[in-house]
Amino acid sequence: MTNVADDHRAVAKAFAERVRGVAPADWDNPAPCEGWVALDVVRHLTEWLPAFLSAGAGIELPKGPTVDEDPLAAWVAHSDGVQALLDDPATSGQMLANPHVGEMPVDQAIGMVYVPDVFLHTWDLARATGQDERLDPDRCAQLLAGMLPMDDVLRGSGQYGPRAEVAEDADAQTRLLAFIGRPV
State residue 89 phi and psi, 5-degree precision: -60, -25
Residues 108-128: tens digit of each pLDDT: 999 999 999 999 999 999 999
Question: Does one domain contain both 22 and 104?
Answer: yes
Question: Does one domain contain both 103 and 159?
Answer: no
What is the reported pTM? 0.94
Question: Does one domain contain both 77 and 163?
Answer: no
Question: Does one domain contain both 115 and 164?
Answer: no
Question: Does one domain contain both 124 and 142?
Answer: no
Domain count, the chain: 2
Band of residue 168 on the pLDDT scale cut at 50, 70, 90: confident
With 0-12 / 13-18 / 19 or more C-beta atoms within 10 angstroms meaning exposed / middle / buried, residue 157 is: exposed
Question: Does one domain contain both 67 and 107?
Answer: yes
Question: Does one domain contain both 77 and 158?
Answer: no
Scanning 22-150, the segments in alpha helix (DSSP H) are: 38-57, 71-87, 106-109, 115-129, 137-147
Longest dimension (CA), the chain: 45
The candidate with the shortest Cα–Cα distance to 48, out of 39, 61, 38, 35, is: 61
Residues 35-65: tens digit of each pLDDT: 999 999 999 999 999 999 999 999 999 999 9
Question: Does one domain contain both 43 and 99?
Answer: yes
What residues make up the domain containing 80? 4-134
